[in-house]
Amino acid sequence: MYPNRMNNFCCGAGGGAWAMPYDQERIFYGRVKAKQIKDTGAKMVVAPCHNCRDQIMKSLNKEFDLGIEVKYLWELVADSLVVEPWSEEEIKKAHELRDAQYERDGVDLDEEF
């Protein structure tokens, strides 16, 4: 986003504003963040805190039609840890590739050292 780092803009929900009954104020102050997000063309935003996540996901996304997915950093890590199980065919192919590599490199797993 531009500007970024210490010159970045608040999402509008900081200081507990998300939990307070200041919907119109949050949306008004969040308009700058919404423009920043829209200008990036991003399809996903990683939010640094729960106030930012809720504000961007539940308020700004709807009010400014951002069409983005909003996640915490830990959610990205968790998503990357999910691995679909291999089919029997994929397992067989992997074993064949492994065996071919062992054969090529002269690896004998039964050999004692």
Give how many domains the chain has, as a whole number. Answer: 1
**Tens-digit pLDDT string for the chain (113 aa):** 889 888 989 999 988 888 888 889 999 999 999 999 999 999 999 998 889 999 999 999 999 999 999 999 999 999 999 888 899 999 999 999 999 999 999 888 777 76
> Residue 90 falls within a domain, yes or no?
no
> Residue 44 falls within a domain, yes or no?
yes
> Residue 28 falls within a domain, yes or no?
yes
Q: Report yes or no on whether pTM surpasses 0.85.
A: no
Backbone torsions φ then ψ of 88, nearest 5 degrees? -60, -35
> Residue 55 falls within a domain, yes or no?
yes
- Give the Å distances, CA to CA, from 51 to 17, 47, 57, 98, 107: 8, 9, 10, 49, 55
* pLDDT in the model for residue 36: 95
> Residue 97 falls within a domain, yes or no?
no
* pLDDT in the model for residue 113: 67
> Residue 102 falls within a domain, yes or no?
no
Q: Which domain holds residue 72?
A: 5-82
CA–CA separation, 102 and 100 (whole Å): 5
> Residue 92 falls within a domain, yes or no?
no
CA–CA separation, 52 and 60 (whole Å): 10
* pLDDT in the model for residue 46: 95
Amino acid identity for residue 26 in this structure: R
Q: Return the exposure string of 24-37: e unless at least 16 CB atoms fall within 10 Å of the residue's CB, then b.
A: eebbebbeebbebb
pLDDT tens by residue, 83-109: 888 999 999 999 999 999 999 998 887
